[in-house]
Structure 1
């Protein structure tokens, strides 16, 4: 992952956003530490939520609302949440009561970025959310 991000950051003008979950300190250092050592500006945001919120979000990915297919994620959940809450995992964004646009706004403001205004009306926004949900459903 380091090599890909290093290449993109070397060629791309502006901000590069890499959505990924890093919960192991060694991987964090291997990827983000090396990027910093290579002279890249790196901002890391840990999106956090209470256990029950995460479980509810995982249930939304299944048509049956069962967590059977999410057994691996559920088994790792407590450890991941605990590690992500530690200081080395950067800026914490509590997402329990935030919408996706609110999370994006909070991160942009913290990173000194300005986002284009969302031109979606309520219906289009809802349809987009349904589309994302459908694409992430696991059968």
Structure 2
């Protein structure tokens, strides 16, 4: 059901909206990947990009969201890294030493997307990122 919903939604958006569709989604099961991404790529140009990081980096990022090593997300890291090393090996952006702006620029370059200039000042950017980070904190 989840796979069909996501495929149908992305198919609809791709069919009815102009421009690029960027979907943040973690798919680690090769069968699910083939059903969603493989099927979409038969109709549309799909550029699948894996935002990849070492386990230590991922644990640090989870800790910044107040998620410890026993959290559900932390317990998925080894499985995800294994899958992205063996089963789903599309283009990877290694994010360990990149800031958010650098990751965005690399995604845009790979996707041939022209980014609009970010007119926010540094304080506003930090505030906006803080708000997003707070929204990721789980109870």
The answer to whether TM tops 0.5 is yes
**Partner SS, residue 93 of structure 1:** strand
Aligned twin of 1:29: 34
Aligned pairs for 1:18-57 within 5 A: 18-37=23-42, 39-57=43-61
From 67, 70, 77, give the equivalent of 2:69: 67
The Cα RMSD (Å) is 1.4
Q: CA deviation at 1:87?
A: 7.1
Please list the CA deviations of residues 24-72 of structure 1 after superposition, one character each: whole Å capped at 9, or x if unmatched.
Answer: 11111000111112x111110000111010001111111xx6334x1x2
Measure the CA separation in 2 of the matches of 1:127 and 1:80: 31
In the alignment, is the contact (CA less than 8 A) between 2:49 and 2:91 conserved in 1?
yes
Matched, 1:135 2:135: yes
Unaligned runs of 5+ residues in structure 2 are 1-5
In the alignment, is the contact (CA less than 8 A) between 1:44 and 1:89 conserved in 2?
no
**Partner SS, residue 83 of structure 2:** helix
Aligned twin of 2:3: none
Aligned twin of 2:16: 11
TM-score w.r.t. the length of structure 1 is 0.90
Aligned twin of 1:95: 95
